[in-house]
Amino acid sequence: MTGLPRTPSLRLDGKRALITGAGRGIGLAAAAALGEAGAAVTLVARTSAEIDAAARAMAGRGDDARCAVLNVGDLAAVRGFFRDNPAFDILVNNAGTNRPKPMQDVTEHDFDAVIGLNVKSAFFVAQAAAQALIAAGKPGSLIHMGSQMGHVGGPNRSLYCASKWALEGMNKAFALDLARHRIRSNTIAPTFIETPMTRPFFEDAAFRASVLERIKLGRLGTVEDLMGAIVFLASDASALMTGSSLVVDGGWTAD
């Protein structure tokens, strides 16, 4: 039989990818996944030690990987970075933070720290990436690291939920503004992923048990659980997806 449809490629050869917050955890996994798929990867973080080591490890297995120190909270530095580099075909907008506490205990300093990084910095990194693509006349894929907490609420998560719900709204509007430029924008919304940042929280047995009760598949997420989703959204396999959220939550939001 002839004329069978062919699955779009998940390969990213010839594409340039930028990952923020790339030194560890989800950001490092994103860099590793995109590099393995053939993209030329730039790992970004505020300090050099972890991204230097990661880029060396990736290069050691044959990936095209480099690193750049950039504080995404410094918007002048962000603008300068995108001005001084060719447009990136893929952005993984991953840098973020959390200060879990009851809403009645959230301080203005907490608010500014979480909203400043998770919303303001994410917005202007995406803006700079999109502006560069538009100027170059290139299509692209913006991938924002959201959370299941951008779809539901949770105790001690009012501030984090505020930031991730904002990211979901921004993403949908980005998609509408950028579609005519052939630039797609989507989020990934993970459940609790065990990373160096989250591992101390899971040392609390009661908290760990409460999380596992809500994750229907009965285990914490790993960074490997997100790597396929990242490559999918970066590649032609998701060519008709924009303004969407890929929820990887083990069933948390299903009820």
What fold does the segment set 16-248 form as a domain?
A: Rossmann fold (3.40.50)
Residue predicted with more confidence, 124 or 199: 124
Average pLDDT, the chain: 97
Q: Which of 155-164, 192-201, 215-224, 229-238 is least confident?
A: 192-201
**Residue 172 appears among annotated catalytic residues:** no
Kind plus residue range of the DSSP H or E element containing 207? helix 205-214
| Mean pLDDT of all residues in 178-192 | 98
pLDDT at 9 over 70: yes
pLDDT at 195 over 90: no
Catalytic residue among 15, 120, 164, 216: 164
pLDDT at 94 over 80: yes
Count of Cβ atoms closer than 10 Å to residue 125 Cβ: 26
pLDDT at 41: 98
In the chain, where the domains are located:
16-248
* d(C-alpha 60, C-alpha 158), whole Å: 42
pLDDT at 59: 97
Phi, psi of 90, rounded to the nearest 5 degrees? -135, 130
Catalytic residue among 15, 101, 120, 160: 160
Please state, for a pLDDT cut of 90, what percent of the chain lies above it: 96
**What are the pLDDT digits (tens) for 23-48?**
999 999 999 999 999 999 999 999 99
* d(C-alpha 145, C-alpha 161), whole Å: 13
Q: How far apart are the first and last CA of the chain?
A: 44
pLDDT at 1 over 70: no
DSSP 218: S
**Residue 160 appears among annotated catalytic residues:** yes
**Strand positions, DSSP E, 70-129:** 90-93
pLDDT at 2: 75
